[in-house]
Structure 1
Amino acid sequence: MIGVHLSSVRVELARALADRVPYVFAPLFEGGTESEKVFSIGEVPERQFSGPVSHFMDNQAARRWFLVGNDYVWPRASHNWVRDFVLGRGGAVVGEEYVGLGYDTTHLVDMIEAANPDIVFLSLVGSECVPFNRMFAERGLSRHILRLSGAVEENTLMAIGADNTENLFCAAGYFSALQTPENHTFLKRYRDAFGVTAPVQGVLSEACYEGLRFFGALATRAQSLEIDALSQAFEGLSFESPRGVTTVRNGVASGPTYLARAEGTEFEVLRSFDNA
């Protein structure tokens, strides 16, 4: 089983599949899955956000942060990490608010406008990002307040619209715009197979492919599909994907992560962070 879904779904699947079926959870997540017997290979908050948050604090004078997210385990866990990291580096968190999936986000924009932070850290996911970011820009807030997301990918960016992406940044382990030999090969093979009008690859869809690459490497190393043998082969495993090489160290998959800026409805990768 290779899954790309919310962490709340992962918890239930892990409970159902424990000791029965090998289960790979591929996307970014909050960490702490050791007890679930899941092969988790996505970015944990420290791996995903330490470099980008430091970048904005050091280079953009982003001292006052407002944290906004959907109300479930990944946003809350990510915000706990970001809050401690920002405070530890002498910054301030001037607001923190959560909203249920599918709920109106107007009040979030109102709260941010009143608090006037330097930067908003966004953990709204999927279609939840769209009305919020449109409204944020329409209020004129994007001209002077930065936005950093860990969940806006290429297709969501297109839905937000080119007029609403000023000063919007994303931290992720993959962007379609990555200029790496591995990504060039991946995208060429993808377009050869599905055509130039196929959906743009983003961090979540690439994670599904990466999950397959990972499990192939894991099963080859273990020389077995038995869960115990796979578990013993997990630590120290290296596998290749469109982003580059990822290695499992101390139970955490560690590879390069990236910071990108929205340019209209496309991302421009600004820099990479080595999480080895």
Structure 2
Amino acid sequence: MKKLTSLLCVGSLVGASALAVALNAQAADPIRIGVAVGLSGANSVVAPAVVQSSQLAVEQINAAGGILGRKVELEIVDDASGAVGAQKAFDTLVFQKKVQAIIAMETSAARNAALPVVTKGKVPYIYTSFYEGRSCNPWMYVNGWVPEQQVSPMVDYFANAKGAKNFFLVGNDYAFGRGMLEFTKKYIEKKGGKVVGEEYLPIDGSDWTSVVSKIRSVKPDALISATAGGAPNVSLAKQLKGAGLTLPYGNLAIDEGTAKTMGDVATGLYMSASYLTGIETPQNKEFIAAMTKKFGADLKTPNELSEPQYEAFFLYKAAVEKAGSTDSAKVTSALGEVSYTGPRGAVAMNSSRHTQLSMRLGQVQADGSILILETFKNVDPGAQCPNIK
């Protein structure tokens, strides 16, 4: 009997040892985070900045000990800025790379196409792009702005400071452009203004000649556009400038980095953003300094698309630490309970899976810098996804 007991004890020790080895091996495995981004297509103008902010976040997290003692690895895949590419990119990340989470800014068409893959793979997804709102999924949280936060500062400024009553709206013909301008039109009319023209061009279109002609013919007091981030913003602004149109122009989709690459074409353009490099906070100064140190002359201007990408890694880190593991269901639940204070301020995705944000109305100056005209604190996103638990 004593011999049997000894053997059982030895067996238990061996089993415990094997379990410890297995747990240590698991702890040593890296946490893989997927980034699907438009390295080609319409978003290729902004993608490099998004990649850089992802790289800095991972470097800083790893330098501080990783997440639960595990290093973080990036898996970056091109989604080609569109639906077909996004399906392929997310499929690669979820089922081939087997990432623990996806953190990505994308066009709305790409996001919508990718969500079924996220649902099938049950992978936590932080969507870091501003967008038209009300995209809801049990596995997704959003830390970018929505129309309820971004439109009112621009429309109110044009109405109050510029005396604008008649507005012309221009967008790309897909979910973002249509959704943003539908909300903008309703807001303008609610405030007593009038939309005298509304035109759309396909997302890959670049000839705005007919649209510019219509703007000229109706003579609106102000113009507001919602085009796909990147190339369409540039082509529209260039053609407006070339036509000699000088009316107040607000762009609901342009980022600071793109604006700076446009030279005098962007001078005078208005933008409403939650992040601008001119934000005077210690966290933003530290962020800019760290980006500058890491990338030097190759640094792409941090902007409204790349900064939320950066902070999303720290939101994910906080969620994993709160959950005590990378278990998808536990982490997804925890994402609605954590916060992170970064360059934009405190961010918590607890407002129906979105976040309150301080918004800034800015205007592009002749040297490419953005003058912050007004700041609107803690703007609520409204009821975005109230039925997703």
For the aligned pair, the TM-score class normalised by the smaller chain equals over 0.9
Is 2:105–2:127's contact at 8 Å kept on the other side of the alignment? Answer: yes
CA distance in structure 2 between the aligned counterparts of 1:159 and 1:191, rounded to whole angstroms: 18
Letter in 1 for 2:236: F
How far apart in 1 are the matches of 2:337 and 2:222? 37
Q: How far apart, CA to CA, are the structure 2 residues paired with 1:194 and 1:178?
A: 20
Distance of 1:263 and 1:96 partners within structure 2: 27
Which of 147, 152, 160 pairs up with 2:249? 147
Greater mean alpha carbon deviation, residues 147-156 or residues 218-227? 218-227
Query: Deviation per CA, 1:81-138, whole angstroms, max 9, x where unpaired?
Result: 1111110110000111110122211111111111111111111231111122122122
Matches within 5 A, 1:48-197: 48-103=150-205, 104-125=207-228, 126-142=230-246, 145-162=247-264, 164-197=265-298
Offset of residue 36 of structure 1: 5.7
Deviation at 1:31, TM superposition (A): 1.6
TM-score, normalised to structure 2's length?
0.66
Q: Which deviates more, 237-246 or 223-232?
A: 223-232
Native 8 Å contact 2:132 2:146 kept in 1: yes
User: What's the CA shift string for 1:127-186, capped at 9, x where partnerless?
Assistant: 1111221221222212xx111112212232133321x23431001111122222211110
Question: What is the one-letter code of the residue matched to 1:255?
Answer: L
Amino acid at match of 2:125: Y
**What code does the residue aligned with 2:356 have?**
S
Deviation string, structure 1 residues 203-260 (Cα, Å, up to 9, x no partner): 1121221221221222233333233323332335322221111232233211211111
8 Å CA contact 1:109, 1:136 repeated in 2: yes
Distance 1:205 1:216 in 2: 18
**How far apart are the structure 1 equivalents of 2:361 and 2:321?**
33
CA distance in 2, matches of 1:85, 1:236: 31
Tell me, in whole angstroms, the C-alpha distance in 2 between the residues paired with 1:225 and 1:60. Answer: 51
**Match for residue 106 of structure 2?**
5
Distance, in Å, in 1 between the alignment partners of 2:319 and 2:165 is 42
User: Is structure 2 residue 372 aligned with structure 1 residue 269?
Assistant: yes
Structure 1 unaligned blocks of 5 or more: none
Whole-angstrom distance in 1 between the partners of 2:295 and 2:301: 11
* Structure 1 residue aligned with 2:142: 40
* Corresponding residue for residue 334 of structure 2: 233
Cα distance between partner residues in 1 of 2:369 and 2:157: 21
The one-letter code of the counterpart of 1:113 is: R
Q: Which runs of 4+ in 1 moved over 6 A?
A: none
- Structure 1 vs Structure 2: percent identity of aligned residues? 26
Work out whether residues 11 and 36 of structure 1, in 8 Å CA contact, stay in contact via their aligned partners in 2: no
Per-residue deviation, residues 41-80 of structure 1 (Å, max 9, x unmatched): 2101101222332222222212111111111101111111
In the alignment, residue 235 of structure 2 is paired with which amino acid? Answer: P
1:213 aligns with 2:317: no
Q: 2:343 corresponds to which residue? A: 242
Q: Secondary structure at the match of 2:144?
A: coil
SS for the counterpart of 1:253 is coil
Query: Contact conserved, 1:14 with 1:36, CA < 8 A, in 2?
Result: no
**Partner Cα distance (1:114, 1:166) in 2:** 23
Please say which of residues 246-255 and 87-96 is displaced more in the overlay.
246-255
Q: How does 1:12-31 map to 2 (within 5 A)?
A: 12-18=113-119, 20-31=122-133
How far apart, CA to CA, are the structure 2 residues paired with 1:73 and 1:233?
29
One-letter amino acid matched to 2:325: S
